[in-house]
């Protein structure tokens, strides 16, 4: 059994196999390949969330009233997150056994295909209860694909990037998260600001159909990238495990549990601020466009700061930066809702900017850290599972639970309290886990056992 108090294997220049020339040659294709895929993932996530907050209650749940319809729409959104751990197991297995590249191509096609099909769905007015049922099925397909998309993106870069700049390069796919948010906000603001009759009849479909463009671009890049050298070495040494999923739980159970907590603020805090806050802002008097633009302003700032955060982890350490973000997250949860309640547009923008420093930039610190925490032979599975168990438990219910808590208590303060708890849980996990900066990415579970001996 693993003990998290032992340090991770250290980076040893004498045994490192990083090929600087190969990295320089491959990064020009690899970086856009993973960024486009992550952009697609989060475009899909956010366009669905915005539609759930604005139009899906009317189109798919017209008979239950606006408040319950919103909760029902957010519940279908959450269903996709319940499928993500299964996607992490399936595509993590493919990534660890058959190659990182293969898994990344399949997840791209599954996510983008499901999103495009949502844009073709008949509504409740046409086929009745089959409409929300089909919506839920397609959302499940989205979730399966997304269960290993972003994790695979930064694992791929983390295994190829220079050790001393791994934090920076691994954070680059995180730009795609907020690029997806920005793209979805721009598309949603344009479409959902149009006349209501046009939006309800056909306009709502356009944001989902746009997804096919990102799939084509992403596939163009992904079919041309090289396989991870870490995976190729595993194949050469015949070190790949038959069941990576089982190996994660057998070899690194404590590390997996703590890695799940590392994602807790992303699972609850970011989804509350990026999705539920749109519905909440509408409830207290903001119009839809203003509510969406608040997330856009914060996401543009995050695009700039996520790679800066990754760079800082290379220079200061993974743990130190992570701890600072957790502390900020704990003290900004209640001010976030206080600023929203003021009714001021400037205050709304300031509220979302707080979230950049309290949770969004954690993606810049997390990518290299999670990649370095798991041994090479089941790294893809371990990273994907740690993220998606957390999102299934926290992100899946976040928008619907926040809406229900508001109906029950008449305010957002229980939701804010859970945000504080998630940041605190993350802080505890970071405190227990070892520093991993610049380790040799070829280390295996056997190396971990030897380090404990």
DSSP state of 446: H
Report the C-alpha gap between 271 and 260 in whole angstroms.
16
- Where do the domains of the chain lie? 20-229+248-452
Asked if 275 and 412 count as a contact pair (C-beta separation under 8 A), the reply is no
By the 8 A CB rule, do 138 and 3 touch? no
> Residues 115, 400: contact at Cβ < 8 Å?
no
H helix or E strand, kind and range, residue 155: helix 149-160
What does R_g of the chain's alpha carbons equal in angstroms? 21
Instruction: Tell whether the model's pLDDT for residue 27 goes beyond 60.
Output: yes
| DSSP characters over 121-186 | ---HHHHTTHHHHHHHHHHHHHHHHHTTHHHHHHHHHHHHS-GGGHHHHHHHHHHHHHHHHHHHHH
pLDDT exceeds cutoff 60 at 16: no
Question: Is there a contact between 364 and 154 (Cβ–Cβ < 8 Å)?
Answer: no
Q: Which DSSP letter does residue 411 get?
A: S
Q: How many CA atoms lie within 13 A of 304 on its CB side?
A: 8
Per-residue confidence (pLDDT) for residue 19, from 0 to 100: 63
Q: Which residues contact 25 (CB under 8 A, 6 or more apart)?
A: none
CA atoms lying within 13 Å on the CB side of residue 274:
31
Q: With cut-offs at 50, 70 and 90, classify the pLDDT of residue 238.
A: low
Q: For tokens 């993220």, what's the residue?
A: 387
Q: List, for residues 55-97, the tens digit of each pLDDT value.
A: 888 888 877 667 777 777 777 777 787 888 999 999 988 988 8
Residue 350 CB neighbour total at 10 angstroms: 18
Residue 334's pLDDT band, with cuts at 50, 70 and 90, is very high
Q: How far is CA 60 from CA 74, 154, 200, 206, in A?
A: 12, 36, 11, 17
Position 1 pLDDT exceeds 50: no
Categorize the per-residue pLDDT at 433 as very low, low, confident or very high, splitting at 50, 70 and 90: very high
Q: Which fold has domain 20-229+248-452?
A: Growth Hormone; Chain: A; (1.20.1250)
pLDDT band for position 8 (50/70/90)? very low
Residue 100 has pLDDT above 50, yes or no: yes
How far apart (Å, rounded) are the C-alpha atoms in residues 313 and 430?
13
Contact predicate 280/412, CB 8 Å: yes
Q: Residue 159 above 60 pLDDT?
A: yes
Half-sphere exposure of 247 (CA within 13 A, CB side): 23
Degrees, nearest 5: CA angle 352-357-362:
115
Give the start-end residues of each E strand in 249-407.
Answer: none
DSSP 10: P
Whether 174 contacts 63, CB under 8 Å: no
What pLDDT sits at residue 420?
Answer: 97
Q: Is the pLDDT of residue 327 over 90?
A: yes
Among left, alpha and beta (phi > 0; psi -120 to 50; other), residue 285 is left
Looking at the chain, the whole-number percentage of residues with pLDDT higher than 70 is 92
Tens-place pLDDT, residues 103-134: 988 998 998 899 999 999 998 888 888 888 89
| Distance from C-alpha of 378 to C-alpha of 40, rounded to nearest angstrom | 25
State the burial class of residue 232 (Cβ atoms within 10 Å of its Cβ: 0-12, 13-18, 19+): middle
């Amino acid at each position: 059994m693993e003990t998290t108090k032992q340090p991770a294997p250290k980076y040893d220049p004498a045994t490192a196999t990083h090929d600087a020339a190969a990295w320089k040659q491959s990064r020009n294709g690899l970086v856009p390949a993973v960024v486009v895929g992550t952009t697609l993932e989060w475009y899909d996530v956010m366009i669905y969330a915005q539609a759930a907050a604005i139009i899906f209650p009317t189109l798919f749940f017209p008979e239950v009233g606006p408040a319950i319809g919103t909760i029902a729409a957010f519940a279908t959104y959450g269903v996709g997150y319940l499928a993500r751990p299964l996607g992490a197991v399936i595509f993590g297995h493919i990534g660890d056994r058959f190659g990182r590249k293969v898994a990344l191509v399949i997840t791209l096609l599954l996510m983008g295909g499901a999103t495009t099909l949502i844009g073709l769905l008949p509504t409740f007015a046409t086929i009745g209860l089959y409409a929300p049922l089909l919506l839920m099925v397609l959302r499940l397909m989205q979730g399966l694909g997304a269960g290993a998309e972003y994790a695979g993106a930064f694992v791929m870069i983390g295994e190829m990037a220079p050790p001393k700049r791994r934090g920076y390069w691994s954070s680059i796919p995180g730009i795609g998260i907020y690029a997806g948010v920005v793209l979805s906000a721009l598309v949603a603001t344009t479409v959902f600001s149009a006349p209501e009759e046009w939006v309800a009849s056909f306009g709502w479909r356009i944001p989902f159909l746009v997804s096919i463009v990102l799939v084509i671009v992403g596939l163009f890049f992904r079919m041309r990238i090289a396989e991870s050298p870490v995976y190729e070495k595993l194949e050469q040494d015949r070190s790949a495990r038959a069941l990576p999923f089982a190996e994660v739980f057998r070899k690194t159970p404590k590390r997996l549990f703590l890695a799940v907590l590392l994602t807790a603020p992303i699972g609850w805090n970011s989804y509350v601020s990026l999705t539920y806050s749109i519905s909440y802002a509408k409830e207290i008097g903001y119009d839809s466009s203003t509510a969406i633009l608040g997330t856009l302003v914060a996401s543009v700032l995050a695009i700039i700061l996520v790679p800066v955060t990754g760079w800082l982890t290379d220079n200061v350490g993974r743990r130190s930066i992570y701890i600072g973000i957790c502390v900020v997250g704990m003290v900004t949860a209640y001010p976030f809702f206080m600023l929203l309640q003021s009714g001021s547009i400037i205050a709304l923008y300031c509220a979302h900017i707080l979230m950049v420093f309290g949770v969004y930039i954690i993606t810049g610190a997390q990518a290299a850290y999670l990649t370095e925490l798991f041994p090479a032979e089941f790294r893809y599975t371990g990273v994907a599972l740690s993220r998606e168990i957390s999102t299934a438990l926290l992100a899946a219910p976040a928008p619907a639970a926040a809406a229900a808590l508001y109906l029950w208590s008449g305010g957002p303060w229980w939701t804010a309290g859970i945000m504080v708890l998630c940041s605190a849980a993350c802080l505890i996990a970071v405190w227990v886990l070892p520093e991993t900066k610049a380790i040799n990415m070829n280390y295996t579970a056997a190396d971990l056992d030897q380090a404990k001996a």
